[in-house]
Amino acid sequence: MTDSALDRDAAPRPADGAGGNGPDDDEISLLEYGQVIYRRRWLVLGVTGLVMFIALVATLLMTPLYRATTTLQINRDTIKVVDVQGMTPAESFNDQDFYQTQYELLQSHSLARRVISHLDLAHDPVFKRMQQPSPLGRLLGLLHPGAGARTPEALDHDDVKTLLGALSIEPIRNSRLVAIHVDTPDPKFSARVANAYADAFIQSNLERRMEGSSYAKSYLDDRLQQLKQRLEDSDKELVAFAQKEQIINLNTTVNAQQSLIGQQLGELNTALAQAEQDRYKAEGRWQQVQAMHGDALPQVLEDRVVQELRRRYAEDVAKYQDQLRLYKPAYPQMQQLKAQIDELHQQIADQVTTIKGSIEGDYLAAKAHEDLLHTRVAALKQQYLNLEQRSIRYNILKREVDTNRQLYDALLQRYKEIAIAGGVGINNVLIVDRAHEPQLKYRPVIRLNLAVALVLGLFGGVLLALLLERLDDTVKNATDVEHALGLATLGVIPLLREQTPEQALADARSGFAEAYRSMRTALQFATADGAPRVLLITSTRPGEGKSTTASALAHNFVQLDQRVLLIDADLRNPSQHRGVAIDNTRGLSNVLAGAMAWREVVHSPANGGPAVMACGPLPPNPAELLAGPRLATLLEEARAEYDFVILDAPPVLGLADAPLLGHLAAGTVLVIEAGATRLEHVRDALKRLAVSRTRVVGAVLTKLDTRQTGYGYGYGAHYYAYGGASPESRRSR
């Protein structure tokens, strides 16, 4: 194994495929957005110019329109001539539904038909001109010949559609005003239609209110007839019930009768209570008479007659006892006195009996009076209950009569008010400003259209640029190399526009030459041991500048007093012999075929440049030659005599040469053309190189348009293409 192979195996390799995972490819910073827009500025400007040109042409082809405006004031309610509850809703400052309804009514088909009929627009030449189809419409008419035959309904619909297309409604914020705009090709016609629209809207609003009043009046009329019949029926039922129950005096209410009976019942209850007390007293005296001796009764003792009789009786008894000492009982005077005493005794007994009878009579009278009052109270109670029973039905009928009468009176009053309100005809819509003939056209406005087109064009151009950038999966800058591919960027080579690579490299102060010197410096820090001593330069596809890179890198290492051998290992399309003007009849192919020693085909530099080994005759089987053992021997011996051996290899994709060479090299540099090589192709190339255990130390980004990306190199000349390229382009490989 050669020293270069050992160096290669000891060094770390990038991951298979992309060589590593960087940040998310979809993340683009604002700076990158700006770079994308700057890089595609001509696309953005082209789209913007195209949009502005189309807008200009369209504006010039537009028919000039003149706007006439009529301003209306729409109030929530009319002036309240009469206050009809339920017919005039309360004012609501937040009631947007009402005003939105008015705006929709202004744009209704019925109002448009009214204006068309009133102005006879169907025969108006301006209106007919407005109905002429556009060029696109005429083209569609040619494609559909049958579309010309239209029914009257279709014609009416077209008229309404045309008029509504010229109409626009603009509510004025924070007010009750609304502007009616009419845009037509004729200024007089615009003013006439705008004023007609306002008048028609006011008239239709009045008609709707009249229709609403008429409907309400008709409805109330029917209800009045029903309530009138109901009132008559309830009156008849009340009278019939009063006659049946003998409630004759209709002016005296049942409540009054109930009050009278209640008063009488109260008086009787008072009398009954007194009678019961009297009966209790009489009964007590009677019971006392029955329980005690008559002479001991308080009534007897307190009776004056009894007291008088007892006094006389006592006197006669005393007199009799006194004369009994003088006379015998049979003495006539004594017998007469005795008879007088007996008479008084009998009178006393009779008086006591009379008093007892009086007490019993009082008791019986009190009891009879109490019983009579009980009977009367019971009768009044029954009468009161009967009256209460009748009053329930009477009151029900009376309330029904009163309710029906109130409903009838209220409905009759409302009917009269609606009839008055319907005849007043006050509208809630007023014309604030009538439309006048406009002097200046409303649209199109060239400045406005161009300004809008400018904004839209810029916006569309930027979107298109970003979209193309998103769809563009090529390697565009060093960020893509590092983030998307996971490779170190060893150098960024600017695009040449006015010079050839040889001319740019000849000028040591040129940015092109400086870029390759920066690449050389980067290679010196690519590994811990410095730049790989056997370095392979390859690319993904032809024409990416690998040959120029190999030659420039060899010359830059020579400038550091290094011995460098540049080998043209592209056995299919060699180019290094043209750069140094040497003979290509002998070279690497002769060495690999065993026909010559490698030192015999090395061309020593004449002006201090690197030693060059040309390709030699093109072999029929390059891969078989490269796979043989002579190449490894050549590289091992050359590495012993030279400080650096640089191999200019063919592209990776489609060929087996580069992986074979990369396996033997200590390091490989992948050349990528900016803005031309797809990321997927580079990943495929890296996969092939990884399979052959090729150590890729980094990538070089070539042909970068520095004026678009801002890298700072201002040279410009297009690079060559691999294969069938022009002689001038071949010199750059």
Please determine, for residue 121, whether its predicted confidence score (pLDDT) is greater than 70: yes
**Strands (E) located in 51-161:** 66-74
Band (pLDDT 50/70/90 cuts) for residue 717 is very low
pLDDT average, residue stretch 369-391: 73
Dihedral, 430, 433, 434, 435 alpha carbons, nearest 10: -140
Please determine, for residue 454, whether its predicted confidence score (pLDDT) is greater than 90: yes
Q: Is 184 exposed, middle or buried (0-12, 13-18, 19+ CB in 10 A)?
A: buried
Q: How far is CA 40 from CA 43, 457, 461, 462, in A?
A: 5, 14, 9, 9
Band (pLDDT 50/70/90 cuts) for residue 711 is very low
Please determine, for residue 92, whether its predicted confidence score (pLDDT) is greater than 70: no
Which of 254-268, 486-500, 629-643 is most confident? 629-643
- In this predicted model, which residue has the larger pLDDT, 307 or 199? 199
Q: At what angle do helices 96-106 and 187-244 cross, to 10 degrees?
A: 130
Distance CA 584, CA 614 (A): 6
The DSSP H or E segment spanning 699 is strand 696-704
Burial 230-262 (b: 16+ CB within 10 A, else e): bbeebeeebeebbeebebeeeeeebeebeeebe
Q: Each residue of 40-70: pLDDT tens digit?
A: 889 999 999 999 999 888 888 878 888 999 9
- 78 touches 427 (CB < 8 A): yes
pLDDT given for residue 11 in this prediction: 40
Q: At what angle do helices 446-471 and 41-61 cross, to 10 degrees?
A: 150
Q: Each residue of 222-272: pLDDT tens digit?
A: 776 777 777 677 777 767 776 676 554 444 555 556 566 667 777 777 877
> Mean pLDDT score of the chain, rounded to an integer?
77
pLDDT given for residue 716 in this prediction: 35
Reduce the DSSP state of residue 97 to 3 states and report it: helix
Please determine, for residue 600, whether its predicted confidence score (pLDDT) is greater than 80: yes
| Share above pLDDT 70 across residues of the chain, in percent, rounded to a whole number | 74
Position 487, amino acid:
L
Please determine, for residue 90, whether its predicted confidence score (pLDDT) is greater than 80: no
Q: Each residue of 349-359: pLDDT tens digit?
A: 777 777 777 77
Q: Is 92 exposed, middle or buried (0-12, 13-18, 19+ CB in 10 A)?
A: exposed
| pTM for the whole structure | 0.50
Band (pLDDT 50/70/90 cuts) for residue 13 is very low
> How many Å is the Cα radius of gyration of the chain?
67
> Could you tell me which residues come within 8 angstroms of residue 26 by beta carbon, excluding any fewer than 6 positions away?
none
pLDDT average, residue stretch 669-691: 89
Distance CA 263, CA 169 (A): 79
Please determine, for residue 715, whether its predicted confidence score (pLDDT) is greater than 60: no
